[in-house]
């Protein structure tokens, strides 16, 4: 049978799942261990750190959506990102996008260094910068596109050319567009990491993270590290993410619709000095994103005319919540300088434009009218 369209795959995976008693929803196998039918025999499941039927269903689903070979489901996005670096030997050099999720920078600069990895941060939206940063011991490229929070777009096909030439592992953090809008493996990525806490969960109620790999060799290495380290997602949380993914398509489409309208509206506001949204045709990465992704997503960053205004907006919003995270049905505003990027060195942060008047919005599925009214009253002078 033909592969399902994404909307169908979100609900039915590859169409092969069958559950005891004909249960339509996946049962939550809340069991740490599984009895052996006989000596040296297994039901396929022995111990939940290694694998669990509820989690396996989720992992298959994410593999299907990402178009990968295999996926492991981890407790958080950061657990997935740190586990994925088990693929590299100490002494390896990694070139990464300069604008990255703050937690990734924290991991790279502290624990990453301690385990013998070195990192160069470059503007990967111009692939020439990657070529300039190559060293003899460069083993991997690590890309976020769109990047968090300044929405830079990196041309993944062009990056793959460099990776292929030098035999480098290509990592992509696919959190911002999710597999609904972007499939980096089809564009040449070897390892896709994704925070399932965000769009896949979709309800700001569950933490999760995924590593999807492109081939069997990588899958074997990751599975070995996964069962050894033990950062596996619990059966109940696996169930919640499966439930979230069922509505991924309609949530993301609606979120994007709202985001596009809000980005255009923000452009018109005198208190707003800059808008970063990948779906605006004058965004520098607009065309590359159109070539490699199916949408622009629902993340917007913008600058207001003063730090005071930024702080007031955060205090005055009502429908929108002032909170970290993104991707859920609830609209959120974040102050990256203090929150997600609080640990990024000041010079690096300011070079990227993450200043005192910079705000990031994750657009949810509320009524557009209510969201615009909320932003309007929050931006207004007292
Ligand atoms: C949130 C996020 C992460 C980390 O995920 P957690 O689930 O919070 O650990 C990694 N990358 C990006 C782009 C994120 O937005």
pLDDT in tens, the chain (382 residues): 678 999 999 999 999 989 999 999 999 999 999 999 999 999 999 999 999 999 999 999 999 999 999 999 999 999 999 999 999 999 999 999 999 998 999 999 999 999 999 999 999 999 999 999 999 999 999 999 999 899 999 999 999 999 999 999 999 999 999 999 999 999 999 999 999 999 999 999 999 999 999 999 999 999 999 999 999 999 999 999 999 999 999 999 999 999 999 999 999 999 999 999 999 999 999 999 999 999 999 999 999 999 999 999 999 999 999 999 999 999 999 999 888 788 778 888 888 899 999 999 999 999 999 999 999 999 999 8
Q: Is 237 in the pocket of ligand 1 (CB under 6 A)?
A: no
Q: Is 351 a catalytic residue?
A: no
Distances (CA, A) of 329 to 3, 67, 255: 28, 25, 8
Q: Is 131 a catalytic residue?
A: no
Distance (angstroms) between ligand 1 centre and the Cα of 243 equals: 20
To test the pocket of ligand 1, the residue of 78, 199, 210 to mutate (highest count of ligand atoms within 8 Å of its CB) is: 78
Q: Is 173 in the pocket of ligand 1 (CB under 6 A)?
A: yes
Cα-flanking dihedrals φ and ψ of residue 96, to 5°? -130, 165
pLDDT for 2: 75
pLDDT for 1: 61
pLDDT for 382: 81
pLDDT for 309: 97
Q: Residue holding tokens 């049978």?
A: 1
Q: Is 76 in the pocket of ligand 1 (CB under 6 A)?
A: yes
Is 38 within 8 Å of 27 (Cβ atoms)? no
Q: What is the rounded distance in angstroms from the CA atom of residue 381 to the CA atom of residue 373?
A: 14
Residue 69 carries which DSSP code?
Answer: S
Q: Residue holding tokens 């806490």?
A: 197
Q: Residue holding tokens 């949380």?
A: 237
Name the catalytic one among 49, 106, 227, 311.
Answer: 49
Q: Is 78 in the pocket of ligand 1 (CB under 6 A)?
A: yes
Distance (angstroms) between ligand 1 centre and the Cα of 208 equals: 9
pLDDT for 346: 85
Distances (CA, A) of 167 to 116, 127, 159, 170, 292: 20, 16, 12, 9, 22
């Amino acid at each position: 049978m033909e592969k399902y369209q994404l909307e169908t795959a979100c609900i039915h995976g590859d169409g092969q799942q069958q559950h005891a008693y004909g249960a339509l929803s996946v049962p939550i196998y809340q069991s740490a261990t599984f009895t052996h039918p006989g000596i040296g025999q297994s039901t396929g499941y022995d111990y939940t750190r290694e694998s669990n039927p509820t989690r396996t269903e989720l992992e298959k689903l994410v593999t299907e959506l990402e178009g990968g070979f295999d996926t492991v489901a981890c407790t958080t996005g950061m657990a997935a990102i740190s586990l994925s670096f088990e693929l590299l030997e100490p002494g390896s050099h990694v070139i990464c996008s300069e604008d990255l999720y703050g937690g990734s920078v924290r991991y790279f600069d502290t624990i990453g260094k301690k385990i013998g990895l070195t990192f160069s941060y470059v503007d990967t939206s111009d692939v020439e910068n990657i070529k300039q940063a190559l060293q003899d011991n460069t083993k991997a490229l690590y890309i976020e596109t769109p990047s968090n929070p300044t929405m830079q777009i990196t041309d993944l096909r062009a990056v793959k050319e460099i990776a292929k030439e030098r035999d480098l592992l290509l990592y992509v953090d696919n959190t911002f567009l999710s597999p609904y809008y972007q499939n980096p493996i089809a564009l040449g990525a070897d390892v896709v990491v994704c925070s399932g806490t965000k769009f896949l969960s979709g309800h700001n109620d569950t933490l999760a993270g995924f590593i999807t790999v492109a081939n069997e060799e990588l899958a074997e290495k990751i599975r070995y590290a996964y069962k050894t380290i033990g950062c596996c997602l619990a059966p109940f949380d696996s169930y919640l993410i499966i439930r979230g993914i069922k509505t991924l398509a309609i949530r993301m489409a609606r979120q994007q619709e709202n985001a596009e309208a809000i980005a255009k509206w923000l452009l018109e506001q005198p208190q707003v000095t800059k808008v970063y949204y990948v779906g605006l045709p004058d965004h520098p990465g607009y065309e590359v994103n159109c070539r490699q992704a199916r949408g622009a997503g629902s993340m917007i960053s913008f600058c207001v005319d003063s730090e005071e205004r930024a702080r007031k907006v955060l205090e005055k919003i009502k429908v929108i919540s002032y909170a970290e995270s993104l991707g859920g049905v609830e609209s959120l505003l974040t102050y990256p300088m203090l929150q997600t990027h609080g640990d990024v060195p000041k010079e690096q942060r300011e070079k990227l434009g993450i200043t005192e008047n910079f705000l990031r919005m994750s657009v949810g599925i509320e009524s557009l009218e209510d969201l615009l009214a909320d932003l309007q009253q929050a931006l207004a002078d007292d």
